[in-house]
Amino acid sequence: MFESKRRALIFITLSFILAAIAGLMFFNTYADLNENLGQTTEIYIADKNIPSRESISSEHVRTMQIPNRFITDAHILSLNQLEDQVSIVPLLEGDILTTSMLRPYSDVTEEGNRLVKLFSEWDNVHFDQNLEALDRVDIVVSQSTEEGPETEIFMRDIPVANVETNEEGNPNVTLEVAVEEAPSLIHVQNYADSVRVLKANSGKDQDNLETAENTQSTNRDKE
């Protein structure tokens, strides 16, 4: 009987010792892991899709925790860093915001330039190709004059500042033009019979322009 109790006491003692060793090993492993990863810091990521050159607000972003060892000077750690900032590239939900992709809103356009939006839902505005921010376009305008219908190359090589999709899924395109040209562009959008926006691909823009002009000429001949 006493021998059985002595053995049980030995086993219990060994169990406590092994448990203590296991606990110590777990603590050391956790300490090493924590030392390697360090403490975490909140960074900002996109909470929704953000078009390029759209002013970023707190509604566009959320935070995510990452270990301090992975933090760099490029990460956005405060909402103050996003004040009056835009992204020069489109952002998808979940993308990490960094300083390299941000620019002050005032620096988006060159001094003396203005942003003018073309609305695809207007019956007289037509986009011949899908456009993205930083593309360049040519504008062909058809309108009635005292001499009859005329089609002309209205503007060449205009940079696309932003492309937004409306509720119907159609694009609204913002162009960057010189302040002196802005009234003319707005005027033709309001009053021209047709405004064709052609993507100015290198080596192909002239073909696109000639195609548009030929199409308009054919339509006039049929009339």
Reported as a single tens digit per residue, the pLDDT across 56-114 is: 888 999 999 998 888 899 999 999 999 888 887 889 999 999 998 888 776 556 778 88
pTM: predicted TM-score of the whole model, two decimal places: 0.49
pLDDT at 3 over 50: yes
Please state, in angstroms and rounded to a whole number, the distance separating the CA atoms of residues 101 and 88.
6
Q: How does residue 26 score in pLDDT terms, banded at 50, 70 and 90?
A: confident
Answer yes or no: CATH 3.90.1210.10 is held by domain 40-104.
yes
The per-residue pLDDT for 155 is 92
SS (H, E, C) 37-86: HCCEEEEEEECCCECCCCECCHHHEEEEEEEHHHCCCCECCCHHHHCCEE
More confident residue, 125 or 54: 125
Domain locations in the chain as residue ranges: 40-104, 113-199
Mean pLDDT of 142-164: 87
Please state, in angstroms and rounded to a whole number, the distance separating the CA atoms of residues 37 and 19.
27
Please state, in angstroms and rounded to a whole number, the distance separating the CA atoms of residues 27 and 18.
14
pLDDT at 214 over 50: yes
Please state, in angstroms and rounded to a whole number, the distance separating the CA atoms of residues 61 and 72.
19
